[in-house]
Amino acid sequence: MSDILATLVADAERQTERSRAVRPETELVARAAAAPPARDFAAALRRPGLGVIAEMKPRSPSKGPLTDDYRPADLARAYQSGGACALSVLTHEDGFGGSPDHLTAARDASDLPVLCKDFIVDEYQILQARTLGADALLLIVAVLTPQRLAALLAYTRRYGMEALVEVHDENEVDTALAAGADVIGVNHRDLRDFSIDRTLSARLRRRVGSRRVMVGESGVRGAQDAHELRRAGVDAVLVGELLMRAGDPGATIKELIG
């Protein structure tokens, strides 16, 4: 695990312990079981054409603030009007300025499936995501042992959600497949030096297999990048910074879809 990734995971663990002190796990179990059914994240990504998972976040660890007027509900409506197939909402506080409340606000303002974007290593975080209204969540192979990945994926599905399982190379694809992942996100960003390699999706498509959904993550600077990734075989792209800086994010999504 890179230093930056280790720091973000440690921040998420501290955030989780703060939440656990306020609301015990037994309370979340009851609330998660009673939550409305999750929207079908995987089916939304399988629709014809290139899907866009539109991400919202106030800032990033590498780029700093991305907006000075962060309104998750307004963004959710704009993203949906532009044709996004799903939303991704950062709930990680220290690195991205996110909040659990942002996820609830976005889901209430939209009919789209919502992905909880955080560094998840604990069942408590999965329960919390479901109670907030999440339909899917992120599991990162690089921060989990194969055994923990499989356990957390099973726990996610126990509550009706799906996981976007993030990989960075061939070995991590194999780990994701062994755990039973159906939606695999290929992160083009190397978290050791923040360099971007958009050819990674093309290299990993065959290994992922045609039966599984593949998402291209990071480094989509515009329509040309999105269309190249579609030709490389991705079913959807996850786009954040481009949309957060766009004057009209709905129009930008339409351009990405093509």
Q: Single out the catalytic residue among 110, 166, 172, 201.
A: 166
d(CA 160, CA 35): 10
Candidates 88, 110, 201, 218; catalytic one: 218
DSSP 142: G
Of 59, 5, 53, the closest CA to residue 194 belongs to: 5
Catalytic entry in 57, 99, 172, 201: 57
Catalytic option among 88, 110, 187, 201: 187
* H or E, element range at 20: helix 3-22
Residue 221, Cα to own-chain centre: how many angstroms? 18
Nearest CA-CA partner of 38 in 173, 125, 122, 132: 132
CA dihedral 150, 153, 158, 162 (to 10 degrees): -150
Asked whether 66 and 55 are in contact (CB, 8 A), the reply is no
Of 55, 110, 162, 172, the active-site residue reads 55
CA separation for the pair 55, 192 (Å, rounded): 22
Catalytic annotation, pick one of 99, 117, 172, 201: 117
Residue 169 is classified by DSSP as S
Active site residue 93: no
Mapped onto helix, strand or coil, the DSSP state of residue 25 is: helix
Residue 234 one-letter amino acid: V
- The verdict on whether 57 is a catalytic residue reads yes
Q: Which one is catalytic: 88, 162, 172, 217?
A: 217
Rounded to whole angstroms, how far apart are CA atoms 170 and 198?
Answer: 15
63 as an active site residue: the answer is no
- Euclidean distance between CA atoms 258 and 254, whole angstroms: 6
Q: Which residues are catalytic, by number? A: 55, 57, 117, 166, 187, 217-218
